[in-house]
Amino acid sequence: MLIRIKKASDVKSSEITAKEAILNRRSFMAAAAAASGVALLPAFAGPAHAGAKFSNVKKTKWGEAEKPTSLDGVTSYNNFYEFGTGKTDPKENAHSLKPNPWSIEIAGHAEKTGRFDLDDLIRPHQLEERIYRMRCVEAWSMVIPWVGIPLSSVLKRFNPTSKAKYVAFETLVDVKQMPSQKFPILPWPYVEGLRMDEAMHPLTLLAVGVHGEAMPNQNGAPVRLVVPWKYGFKGIKSIVKISFVENQPPASWNIQAPREYGFYSNVYPDRDHPRWSQGSERRITGEGGLKALFAPKVQTLRFNGYEEEVASLYQGMDLMELF
φ and ψ at residue 217, rounded to 5 degrees: -55, -45
Distances (CA, A) of 268 to 63, 91, 262, 299: 20, 29, 11, 12
User: According to the 3-state scheme, what is the secondary structure of 204-257?
Assistant: CEEEEEECCEECCHHHCCCCEEECCCEEHHHCCCCEEEEEEECCCCCCHHHHHC
Q: Hey, is 10 helix, strand or coil?
A: helix
* Residue (of 130, 131, 128) closest to 66 by Cα position: 131
User: According to the 3-state scheme, what is the secondary structure of 253-265?
Assistant: HHHHCCCCCCCCC
In a domain, 6, yes or no: no
In this predicted structure, what is the pLDDT of residue 52? 87
In a domain, 176, yes or no: yes
**Backbone angle region of 45, left / alpha / beta, with phi > 0 → left and psi within -120 to 50 → alpha:** left
Query: How many C-beta atoms lie closer than 10 Å to residue 305's C-beta?
Result: 18
φ and ψ at residue 218, rounded to 5 degrees: -70, -15
Q: How far apart are CA 150 and CA 132, in angstroms?
A: 13
In this predicted structure, what is the pLDDT of residue 44? 55
Return the CATH number at 173: 3.90.420.10
Lowest mean pLDDT segment, chosen from 40-44, 200-204, 249-253, 295-299: 40-44
pLDDT at residue 292 greater than cutoff 90? no
| Average pLDDT taken over every residue of the chain | 87
Q: What is the mean pLDDT of residues 272-280?
A: 93
In this predicted structure, what is the pLDDT of residue 293? 76
User: Tens of pLDDT along 2-17?
Assistant: 333 333 333 333 333 3
**Reported confidence tier of residue 133, pLDDT bands at 50, 70, 90:** very high
In a domain, 38, yes or no: yes
In a domain, 103, yes or no: yes
Q: How far apart are the first and last CA of the chain?
A: 43
Domain range for residue 289? 13-314
pLDDT at residue 23 greater than cutoff 60? no
Instruction: Extract the runs of DSSP E, i.e. beta strands, from the chain.
Output: 57-59, 103-108, 114-117, 127-135, 140-150, 166-171, 191-195, 205-210, 213-214, 224-226, 239-245, 280-283, 297-299
User: Tens of pLDDT along 45-89?
Assistant: 566 677 789 988 999 999 999 999 999 999 999 999 999 999 999
| Number of continuous H segments (helices) and E segments (strands) in the chain | 9, 13
Q: How far apart are CA 187 and CA 251, in angstroms?
A: 10
User: Tens of pLDDT along 138-197?
Assistant: 999 999 999 999 999 999 999 999 999 999 999 999 999 999 999 999 999 999 999 999
pLDDT at residue 35 greater than cutoff 50? no
The percentage of residues in the chain with a pLDDT greater than 70, rounded to a whole number, is 84
Q: What is the mean pLDDT of residues 219-234?
A: 98
**Reported confidence tier of residue 26, pLDDT bands at 50, 70, 90:** very low
pLDDT at residue 39 greater than cutoff 70? no
In a domain, 4, yes or no: no
Q: Yes or no: say if 106 and 114 are a contact pair by the CB < 8 Å rule.
A: yes
In a domain, 1, yes or no: no
In a domain, 322, yes or no: no
Please state whether the peptide bond connecting residue 68 to the residue before it is cis, i.e. omega within 30 degrees of 0: no
Rg (CA), the chain: 19
Q: In total, how many domains does the chain have?
A: 1
In a domain, 7, yes or no: no
In this predicted structure, what is the pLDDT of residue 48? 61
In this predicted structure, what is the pLDDT of residue 152? 98
In this predicted structure, what is the pLDDT of residue 56? 87
In this predicted structure, what is the pLDDT of residue 32? 43
